[in-house]
Amino acid sequence: MTYNNDYFNEVRKAQRNAYVPYSNFKVGAYLRTKDGNVFYGANVENAAYPMAICAERSSLVAAISNGYKPGDFESITITVDASEPSSPCGACRQVLKELCDDDMPVYMTNHNGEMIESTVDKLLPLGFSGKDLNN
């Protein structure tokens, strides 16, 4: 699995759909499945702040809602309009840990196309998920 500039172009499309009237911090997510399908996510805020959903989780929820299962995902690309790429929040890291393989690439980009590559496991080392309940 190797990052390419098409991922950046696609994630920027997703970012345009963000609904952020409070923070004005648009985040987009571009989730690729192992069978070649894609799901887009955007953060959606709410006046009741805890009710917001992040772009990463919205793309994963869309995929699961369409019949995909944990482990079916190839990579996720995230973008923000900031001077540095941003990493997923704690809640998103936990959902990634639950639904994705530990070695799945996570590509974090900013508006200039700069990219930091990580994996689910590196973002949440020693994380706990449903996978651990079967041991």
Residues designated as active site: 56
Q: Tell me the two tokens of residue 49.
A: 């702040």
Spatial neighbors of 86 by CB under 8 A, at least 6 apart, are: 27, 78, 80, 108, 110
Answer yes or no: is 49 a known binding residue.
Answer: yes
Answer yes or no: is 44 a known binding residue.
Answer: yes
- Residues 18, 73, 117, 23: what is their CA dihedral angle, to the nearest 10 degrees? 20
Answer yes or no: is 47 a known binding residue.
Answer: yes
Q: In this structure, how many other beta carbons lie within 10 angstroms of the beta carbon of residue 98?
A: 16
The span from the CA of 54 to the CA of 18, in Å, is: 9
Answer yes or no: is 46 a known binding residue.
Answer: yes
Answer yes or no: is 3 a known binding residue.
Answer: no
Answer yes or no: is 91 a known binding residue.
Answer: no
Binding-site members for substrate are 43-49
Binding-site members for Zn(2+) are 54, 89, 92
Binding-site members are 43-49, 54, 89, 92
